[in-house]
Amino acid sequence: MSAALRYKRVLFKVSGEVLMGDRAYGIDPETVSAVARDVAEVLKTGVQLCLVIGGGNIFRGVAGAARGMDRASADYMGMLATVMNALAMQDALERIGVSTRVQSAIPMSTVCEPYIRRRAERHLEKGRVVIFAAGTGSPFFTTDTAAALRAAEMNCDAMLKGTSVDGVYTADPKKDPTAERFDALTYLDVLSKDLRVMDASAISLMRENAIPVVVFSIREPGNLRNVLIGQGVFTVIGEPAET
C-alpha cells in the first residue's frame, strides 16, 4: 500500500462547517468520529498526518467583525473555537487508538501543548497525529493561511482540503446547478478567477513553497484514503503541467 501513496507527509485541512454534520451549529459527534475513522485508516498506510481544523461551526471572526465587534477580538474568539474542535477531534481519534497531540499557537498549557515546530516534527516521525489549533496565533489570518503556514513548516508534500463538495467549481454547486468542476488548476488560476477556495495569502504561500492543494469531499467515507492513492474525485491546485 505504501508504494502507491502519492504523498508521504500531508496536512489535512478540515473546515469547521464539516464538523456540524447536518446540524445548524456546533459539533456533531458522529461526523467527528467518521472523520477520525478516515484518519485512522490512512495512518495504516504509513503516511504522516497533521491537521488544521477551522472554527466556523462555532464562531467566525469575520462574521463577528461584520456585526460590529472589534476584528482582532473576534478573530481571537475564532481561534478559541478551533481549539475546541481540535480537542473534539483528539478525543475521537484517541478513542479508536490513534496517538494524537494538539499544539496551540496560543499557549494554554492546561489543555494542550504550545506550538513548537521541532516537537511537532518528532511527533509526526513517531506516527502521531498532530492537530494544530488557534490558527497562526495572530488576528487577521484565516485558518486556511494557518494551514498553509504549517504545511510549509512541516515540509509537507501536499495539503488535503476536506470540504462538503468534491472539488473546486466555477460557482457554488449548492446554489448554481450549472456550476462545473475543475480537475486541475494552477495557483494563478485560483487567484485570477477569484475562485475563493482558499484566501489569496494561503494560495500564495502554497505557490511559493510548491505545495499542491487537493480539494475533495470529506463527507464520503474513504475519500481521504482515495485521494492519497490518486483515486476518486477531487481538484488539484498546483504548478502548470509540463508540456
Q: Is the pTM of this model over 0.85?
A: yes
pLDDT at 60: 84
Mind giving me the DSSP string for the chain? -GGG-S-SEEEEEE-GGGGGTTSSSS--HHHHHHHHHHHHHHHTTT-EEEEEE--TTT--HHHHHHTT--HHHHHHHHHHHHHHHHHHHHHHHHHTT--EEEEESS--TTTSEEP-HHHHHHHHHTT-EEEEESTTSSTT--HHHHHHHHHHHTT-SEEEEEESSSSEESS-TTT-TT--EESEEEHHHHHHTT--SS-HHHHHHHHHTT--EEEEESSSTTHHHHHHTT-SS-EEEESPPP-
Q: Please compute the mean of the pLDDT values over residues 30-37 and round it to a whole number.
A: 97
Instruction: Tell me the per-residue pLDDT of 182-205, one tens digit each, with 9 for 90 and over.
Output: 999 999 999 999 898 999 999 999
Taking a C-beta distance cutoff of 8 angstroms, is the pair 186, 195 a contact? no
Return the CA Rg of the chain: 17
So where are the chain's domains? 2-238
pLDDT band at 66 (very low <50, low <70, confident <90, very high): confident
CATH superfamily of 2-238: Acetylglutamate kinase-like (3.40.1160.10)
Instruction: Tell me the per-residue pLDDT of 118-173, one tens digit each, with 9 for 90 and over.
Output: 999 999 999 999 999 999 999 999 999 999 999 999 999 999 999 989 999 998 88
Taking a C-beta distance cutoff of 8 angstroms, is the pair 145, 205 a contact? yes
pLDDT at 241: 63
Instruction: Tell me the per-residue pLDDT of 49-59, one tens digit each, with 9 for 90 and over.
Output: 999 999 999 99
pLDDT at 1 over 80: no
pLDDT at 233 over 50: yes
pLDDT at 3 over 90: no
